[in-house]
Chain A
Amino acid sequence: MVSPGTRTWSIGEALAAPFRRLSSDQQRWLILTLVVIGALVFPLIDRNEGDIDAAANATAFAVLALGLNIVVGLAGLLDLGYAAFFAIGAYFYGVTSSWQLHPEWSSFWEPFQWLGVVAHYQAMGENVVHFTLSFWIAMPLAALVAAFFGVLFGAPTLRLRGDYLAIVTLGFGEIVPIVVRNWPTLTNGAMGLNGVQAPSLFGYSFGVTSSPYYYLGVALIAFLIFVSSRLKESRVGRAWMAIREDEIAAGAMGVNRVKLKLLAFAIGAGFAGATGTFYVAKLQTATPDMFMFPVSVMILVMIVLGGMGSVYGVVLAAVILQLLQSWFLQDLSGWLHVLGRAVGNDWMQQIDLTQSIELIFGIILVLMMLYRRQGLIPATRATKALTLEQQTALPSRGTIDVDLRVVAPGELKPGTAMLEVEKLLKTFGGITAVKDVDLRVEPGSIVALIGPNGSGKTTLFNLITGMNAPDRGRISLLGEDITGLPSHLIVERGIARTFQNLRLFSNMTVLENILVGQHSHTKTGAVGAVLHTHAMLAEERETREHALEILSIFGNRLMPRLNQVAKELSYANRRRLEIARALASRPKILLLDEPTAGMNPAETIELAHQIKSLRGMGLTVFLIEHKLNVVNELADKILVLDHGEKIAEGTAEQVHAKPEVLEAYLGRKVAHA
């Protein structure tokens, strides 16, 4: 049976067919090329100055949205005062390239005149300085100034919950326009700056026509897309994602959270500052009202609509909202007026839908959060998958040839413990969790920590790895005091850990998890990531190779699942992945918190063998374990903790012979029965 609709459907189908035959990569390139061509020829086709002007303004907001996307989308920091940085950039250029400031001329200004930053103006009895900073110099400078303010205001909040950042940025967004308004000597107050000089390029001044600004805006968008994408697919981007997924685990993998958050904040603010320069150059004026809270919200709406972290989604949303504002709502209002006149309805004749744009913003925010949190174009996977060849080129089994030795045997001073803990004390409220514990872990040994639940084992691990600060006592690694260091520095020193309740980056792939694990011994910064420097590419290659090496320890358990998202793994594989991630940091000593919990006997035995082989590869292991058969099989030394106190230490036989241990485990009655 042929339904009436089939015919039209097949036409669409026929048109789409060649497109479908392309690979998804090719499809992406095709769409991108078409969009780029469309963007470039648009002002040539549509010769309406108003349209081009609207489009040029739209580019400014798209650039802002891309900048904020780095802060909110990639690093997960909700910044509600983004317009403040936009304002800072705008006023920076506005003041340095207009008549707003015109101090008396003196010889002080001569070097600046030579640099072309100021001009000497003498006429009608005046002898003053005219600031004429070039747009092209002002733009990067404005970015730096805005980034500085970003760091200044982000810093106090970054150690706190993310919510505080939202409040402080909101306040900051409020304060900047107030300062601008209240400082008329610098900014001309509420009246705004006037006569800001237009940029010129190779002697051609941009003037007041919109097209050059439009093309400059498109170039800025392209630049930001490029920067965002490269950042996203780098060590820096992965660290941001890790922070967003699980801050504590990110710290435990060596990510310096404060530094990376500030970096995101500074980059975002810098782009806003640069955009401010562009915007004020285009308008050739700036007033405080242009940078109020609604602007920050509009940019946020663009990100929410497009998809947090999604570079193309954000641009699409910026375009949609701008079209809605400058075209669709106006036309719709016009049609309603016509209709109103036709039916004689006064209300319809007066309606102005452009005023309801903020209402629409509000509705978009609520609806998107309720029904489509990932946005119109959800963010794509950041890390490129390995090809099949890369995966299969490596052995799927064979754990022997991986060398995990970080400390050369010669470097070890005899008698130095790998890890030494002295008189460690920690209390929470009324409860002493760890009480004057002393312990030593010798290099190359496996030490097991046992004790009933709640006896302080995990707290001890938390103290050693810097998750909590001890009240008293000393922790040293190979003789170096590491007490009280933050967790990311402790990983750097060579202590890696896993967590009892698993703290994987659940929405990142197996490979990405392991790449984050290598954060502490890799170096690529934001600049390297964007420029794809030689060192950066080499490092990326090396980290991937190391990741595969680490994965090979677990045979074919994880290797085929390299590109699977961590939350889709089986429980046992998640445990393995957590160990792999810790190993990736090239630790001297590995702390495992109940590595076999939740595993069945076969899996437990397999993992026990793998842990044993880690020692063979040169690693020191300190583990908490409940399964005594595992402990007895693996451990060179067993420590027993009860009520935060070490009650026994020694080999399996020695420990088991102690009546205190039996009591702790079995209760007095049973132990003596």
Chain B
Amino acid sequence: MTFQDVLIQQVINGVSLGAIYSLLALGFTMVYGIIELINFAHFNVFMVGSFIAMYILQALGLNGQNVILTGFSLVGVLVVALVGTMLLSGALGVLIERTALRPLRGVPGTAAMITTIGVSYILFNIVLLTIGADAFNFPNPMPTVRWGEAGVVLQLREVLVWVVAFLLMACLNYFVRRTKMGKAMQATAQDQEAARMMGVEVDRVVMITFFLGSALAGAAGLIFGLYYNYTNFAIGYTAGLRAFTAAVLGGIGNIPGAMLGGIIIGLIESLGGQLLEVRWTDVIIFSVLVLVLVFRPTGLFGRATAARS
């Protein structure tokens, strides 16, 4: 294996990881864009989403990596799992918004942010106490298909991650830019009161934003499981901090920025892990976060959301 092969391989891995972070960063950045709230609960919605996905796949008769499907049945199972996971995760997001966050709308300061930390803790510990701290074998019906020789290998699971992430982001992009509700979201993000004056029901927009963001987090939970073949109560925290960084890197509130930021973080993680040592990955990512905040607080592609005016 030449050094070049290693690099290419790490880029493949990095983009796959990055796709997961992007999906996760999107929900975070969307909520921030609309109500300027850092939603710490988001990343445990992702964790819960991966368990939902696991249970759906198990309900479909899959267990571990024993059952291998191909063709339409594979696509069918994956679509059912994806749609089911997204709907249930989205519903969880809406539930959180309605019960814990809506009553705090308009309360100044850090109250809402602290609430999301509380919600995040509740989700985390409910899973820990009821399901346990084990790493669960995540059902994976995908056949092992590889392209390439000993040097650079591309596997089906990577292609799947790319395709799913790309399709979801394309759908989201279409939704935000082309549909009426998407326009209402943009308008609310830019000037909430003016949007209200146009007849936009802001509460509904916020609810839909939470639904979409959480659904994407759920989707990320599913592909995380398919990619790593496991899930665990603690996956939200590590992935969460990276998705945070991705969103800040892309400029909080900026949707395309979050997508790109996620990919960049994925690449930093895989290449950094290769060039340095894996155990320093978090330190590298955190340094990126601090450097971005110092030199480009609005993110690489950001707009001015930085200073409190």
**A positions within 8 Å CB-CB of B:** 72, 76, 78, 80, 153, 156-157, 159-164, 166-168, 170-172, 174-175, 178-179, 181-182, 244, 247-248, 293, 297, 300, 304, 355-356, 358-359, 361-366, 369-370, 373
Contact = CB atoms under 8 A, between A and B. Distances in A.
B109 A160 contact: no
Nearest to B279: A182
B293 to A, nearest CB: 5
A359 B125 contact: yes
Interface stretch (B14-22, B177-185, B281-289): B281-289
Given A293-B237, A362-B121, A160 B286 contact: no
A171 B294 CA distance: 15
Interface string B254-290: 0000000000000000000000000110110010011
B83 interface: no
B109 A76 contact: yes
Contacts of A181: 279
A182 B244 contact: no
B95 interface: no
B283 A166 contact: no
Contacts of B306: 160-161, 164
B245 A78 contact: no
Contact of A373 (B36, B111, B294): B111
27 contacts: A76-B110, A153-B290, A156-B290, A159-B307, A160-B293, A160-B297, A161-B308, A162-B308, A163-B252, A164-B293, A167-B38, A168-B289, A168-B293, A171-B289, A178-B279, A244-B109, A248-B308, A359-B122, A359-B129, A362-B117, A362-B118, A362-B119, A364-B118, A365-B115, A366-B115, A369-B115, A373-B111
A244 B308 CA distance: 12
Contacts of A370: 100, 103-104, 115
B292 to A, nearest CB: 10
Given A76-B109, A157-B293, A297-B121, A170 B241 contact: yes
Given A171-B241, A369-B118, A162 B125 contact: no
A166 B38 contact: yes
B124 interface: yes
Interface of A is mostly: helix
Which residue, of B120, B244, B290, B305, has the highest number of chain A Cβ atoms within 10 A?
B290
A164 B297 contact: yes
A363 B297 contact: no
B118 A365 contact: yes
Contacts of B117: 80, 297, 300, 362, 365
Contacts of B112: 369
Nearest to B285: A171
Interface string B98-109: 001001100101
Nearest to A301: B118
Given A366-B119, A370-B100, A370-B104, A178 B125 contact: no
Nearest to A155: B294
A358 B233 CA distance: 14
Nearest to A360: B125
Contacts of A361: 118, 121
B113 interface: yes
A369 B114 contact: yes
Given A247-B308, A366-B100, A162 B110 contact: yes
A167 B117 CA distance: 12
B216 to A, nearest CB: 20
A362 B114 contact: no
B2 to A, nearest CB: 29
A359 B293 CA distance: 33
Interface in B200-238: 237
A363 B118 contact: yes
A160 B103 contact: no
A432 B301 CA distance: 26
A80 B241 CA distance: 13
A303 B124 CA distance: 21
B33 to A, nearest CB: 13
Contacts of B114: 78, 300, 304, 365, 369
